[in-house]
A = this chain, B = another copy of it.
Amino acid sequence: MSTEKKKKFLQGNEACIEGALYAGCRFYAGYPITPSTEVMELMALSLPKVGGKFIQMEDEIGSICAAIGGALAGEKAMTGTSGPGFSLKQEALGWACMTEVPLVIVNVMRSGPSTGYPTGPSQSDVMQTKWGSHGDKPTITLVPASVQELFYETIRAFNLSEKYRTPVIVLFDEVIGHMREAITIPEPGEVEVLERRKPTCPPEDYRPYAIQNGEVAPLAPFGEGYRFHVTGLYHAEDGFPTANQQYIHDTGMRLVNKVEHNQDDICENEELFLDDAEVVVFAYGVSSKSAKFAVKELRAGGVKAGLLRPKTIWPFPSNALDKVVAAGNVKKIIVPEMNLGQIYGEVQKVVAGRCEVQGIFRVDTEPIHPKQIMSAVLGHQVEPTVIPDEVLIERPMDG
């Protein structure tokens, strides 16, 4: 009975919000856009019920700025969007990275570039999550691949954003966002939730950007006795602008390295049949679902296929991938993506010629078919594909 109660049959977008609420998110500012709209709509419904704050802003830029404002007031804050809106949020995303504000940003990927095909799934904003804003900035991006995982990974996104004092992006595609599965919502306390670290020192000693034990200082909420300054300019430990090149260097390096140097803490991966795999599929999000299906089928047929599925795409899980390659039995790595080879390039960097890397790219809004992966594993060349008889004729919404 009670187990049944905790089971909910939800859309991915809904599970994301359940996860956010579980993690203590009490502030949402957004602007609707297909296919992320349900994220916002469910927040509009839910937040008032728990006394949280919801606001629809005038645009995506205003949304992320308001969310950051909410975060600086001390709330766990969130904003969500899709491609075009994500492009608009880039400048402010960089500000949050620079000022080290915890924040969770959801991007439900749709087909691009531009307005593209709004209801069609795609995985083509992966590189943008890392490089969309000017300058080198830290990037944590989670790529959950099921409704249940979306729930857990959204919680993890909030935890990571608090731990590293940095925005975290939850990135998934329209298929994951709109598919429905039964998921279990754990009781409060069952899943770890990190709370905002607040300073305990006397206000006059508070240095909001000082490093203590390798971690950036706790972030005091505005209005609670610590009157500090926050700026997107390069700043010293006290938060005030500086022109000192040593500080600029230190801050620039520290921001990126706090993420890059903690890959092993931040990255989580699912591994399947890797022990003796000769062909490994490296796949995330919707494409990993096809991959898993394919790999299992192949194993059933005696083929030594394996799957490495990152749940975290940034920082790029180079250590995990390197381990697989270094083990020596892998002859080929296959990277199926609903884009033109964004993560394929990252895999190439890590592999550095040690084995073959083959990409399967698809941009016709149809998920990669398990058969495409199977045939690649079996050694066939797979061109970027469209399956023309699968023509969608629905009206493209949101364009």
- Binary per-residue interface labels of chain A (61-104) against chain B in the complex, 1 for a CB within 8 Å, 0 otherwise: 10000000000000000000001101110110011011100000
**B115 touching A231, Cβ below 8 Å:** yes
Quote the shortest CB–CB distance from A175 to chain B (angstroms): 15
Q: Is the CB of A112 within 8 A of B130?
A: no
Chain B residue at minimal CB-CB distance from A350? B348
- Among the stretches A141-149, A182-190, A243-251, the one at the interface with B is A243-251
The answer to whether A136 and B245 touch across the interface, beta carbons within 8 angstroms, is no
Residues of B within 8 A of A130 (CB): 127, 131
Shortest Cβ distance from residue A201 to the other chain B in the assembled complex, whole angstroms: 26
Going nearest first, the 9 A-B pairs with the smallest beta carbon separation are A112-B135, A353-B353, A113-B135, A83-B134, A114-B232, A249-B386, A98-B114, A249-B364, A352-B353
Identical chains bound together, number: 2
Given A113-B136, A114-B99: A363 touches B84 (CB 8 Å cut-off): no
Of B124, B252, B349, which one neighbours A136 at CB under 8 angstroms?
B124
Most chain B beta-carbon neighbours within 10 Å: one of A125, A131, A385: A131
A342 CA to B256 CA, complexed, in Å: 13
* A-side interface size class: 35 or more
> Is A399 interfacial (CB-CB < 8 Å)?
yes
Whether A112 lies near B128 (C-beta < 8 A) is no
Which B residue's beta carbon lies closest to that of A90? B87
A348–B390 CA distance with the chains assembled, in angstroms: 38
Query: Are A386 and B114 interface neighbours, CB within 8 A?
Result: no
A-B contact pairs, 7 of them (CB 8 A): A88-B90, A114-B232, A122-B135, A124-B134, A131-B131, A131-B342, A252-B340
> Chain B residue with minimal CB distance to A348?
B349
A202 adjacent to chain B (CB < 8 Å): no
Tell yes or no: A354 within 8 A of B by CB: yes
